[in-house]
A and B are shown apart, each in its own frame.
Chain A
């Protein structure tokens, strides 16, 4: 069961994630304000902020998902507190190293740090190795954590049980809880993509230390970069889903969800699709073999099948015409699922190669992934944070202004995202610090986006205040 130690460390994670989230949102708003020509940052500052914003966001919501998994996993298996602490320490150190390289060293190769840009040094010379080292530190911490959690699961469940293969037969002897299945699938994907990062960083460092005699192939590096980057961003979403499978019925007063043959099938297929969808980042690299491009489109398309047919449908079944007990937790889960679906629609459209020709690297791309995150995965995590923080407190009623906060969140989020989608359809490029004169609608939509993002920020601040207050209480509990 959940010990006080584990409650405290989860509280630390929550507060840390919230603080970093607020900082990152501010960086994001500054970016939109610059694009809207309301403030004037130098391009170097803009792009350094962009690099920081992207990596910090992915990092924090990944660890938020991992912290939630770790906490809930204790219901089923014994977890390692050491691994959790190591991950926390290395995450903090990694983020500090990252921020040093971007804020002080002015490293601005974007969060994708696409080869060979880190070596075309237009910043402090030490920033490149420090940046690469920061990714390595983060990766090591997260790899240790994932391997530890996987090992703990495997202590209790065999491989085939953890992947729920026995559910393909009638009347399986052992029942695999959905939470274990999804955690297992997700951790497998996480480990694979972190190993891709290891290969990537090895090649980067090999070239760095070879002083020019070893040169990497740009195509290989790009494939590895997106194997790591795309997959980790997707897996952090699926970490949130594991939490939903576990908590949604519980919080709603509904019967616990069980693994059936189609749940097992869907999630096993999801692993395959997740690991092959990353090819959709290379559609416009005609150097990529056509077969891999087609694999990318098909995997991206069909990844939506298990998501829609199993997860989303299960949520509908749990809600439709049932006397479900609504609380902020499951409301946020429900809204997050809607955000995830809508982000998915934008994604599948972009994952169509013939559309990608006119959407790639326009604002459509940040449009869909901000939908997945800001109105999807973030809500999953905040739901968990809220649930966790109210577990230990007594007599928590839904605060009176909950509906108001949710409305602010929705208005802010939807407005912010629509600005991206419309600008993307208007061919406005992404990652531009300012827009050329003839693409002036870019600046207009940036102003709109900044305004709505500020509204969204207000909602997040309110959540932060309430949840962190409770988490701090937990942190300083004596027993």
Chain B
């Protein structure tokens, strides 16, 4: 859903930009020698910049609080899932994972509860990306060696969710995946 509106917004804006450029180009073809071009360019420049500034400011202030670092920060997660990434597998477990003897188990998560994923890597940077059962990317975080990233999410629909590695990690990057169920 979010991606559809992003694509639509982009295509509309790109379309508008294209039309503007074509219009400006055509205006130069049709013009008479006596015309002086754009009137009041400085004033128009100022207003254009101001409007753009305001639009950007609005988008910034609306979208920044929606960043994943703030999501569900005040809540107690119902469950913690530990994720250990390595070339080329994800290991998921309800218990902390021993890097010397990594082992995981099938994960089943409750629906409509805040879940916290604690994601790290044993070797290179990986990407922990969750896809829902319509194969849409819904959230992600990076897995960086030496650090644990805490990703909180609430799954609103039951079903099977896939995990794909989204940060290029080597020759089997495209096959690195896992999954879990939400009930």
Contacts and interface: CB of A to CB of B under 8 A. Distances in A.
A joins B in a complex:
yes
Interface of A: 43-44, 47, 108-110, 112, 114, 116-117, 120, 122, 217-219, 222, 262, 283-287, 290, 293-294, 297-298, 301-302, 304-305, 308-310, 313, 316-324, 326, 334, 337-338, 341-342, 345-346, 348-349, 352-355, 357-362, 421-422, 425-427, 429-436, 438-439
A214 to B, nearest CB: 14
A295 to B, nearest CB: 11
Contacts of A421: 7, 10-11
Contacts of B25: 319, 334
Nearest to B138: A358
A120 B17 contact: no
A308 B123 CA distance: 42
A429 B14 CA distance: 23
Contacts of B11: 421
B154 interface: no
B13 interface: yes
B56 to A, nearest CB: 5
Contacts of B151: 286
A358 B2 contact: yes
User: Interface residues of B: mostly helix, strand, loop or mixed?
Assistant: mixed
A313 B68 contact: no
A382 to B, nearest CB: 18
B169 A117 contact: yes
Contacts of A320: 24, 27-28, 37-38
A334 B17 CA distance: 13
Interface in B39-96: 41, 44-45, 48-49, 52-53, 56, 59-60, 63-64, 66-69, 87
Given A286-B141, A286-B149, A305-B56, A44 B171 contact: yes
A341 B10 CA distance: 12
A287 B49 contact: no
B140 interface: yes
Interface of B: 2-4, 6-7, 9-11, 13-14, 17-18, 21, 24-25, 27-29, 31-33, 35-38, 41, 44-45, 48-49, 52-53, 56, 59-60, 63-64, 66-69, 87, 123-125, 127, 129, 131, 135-142, 144-147, 149-151, 162, 164, 166-174, 177
In order of increasing CB-CB distance, the 8 nearest A-B pairs are A309-B49, A425-B7, A354-B66, A427-B137, A361-B166, A432-B174, A431-B168, A353-B67
Contact of B177 (A293, A348, A358, A436): A436
B177 A116 contact: no
A342 B19 CA distance: 12
Nearest to B125: A114
Nearest to A346: B10
A284 B142 contact: yes
Contacts of B13: 345
A359 B3 contact: yes
A438 B17 contact: no
A26 B140 CA distance: 33
A435 B174 contact: yes
A286 B48 CA distance: 35
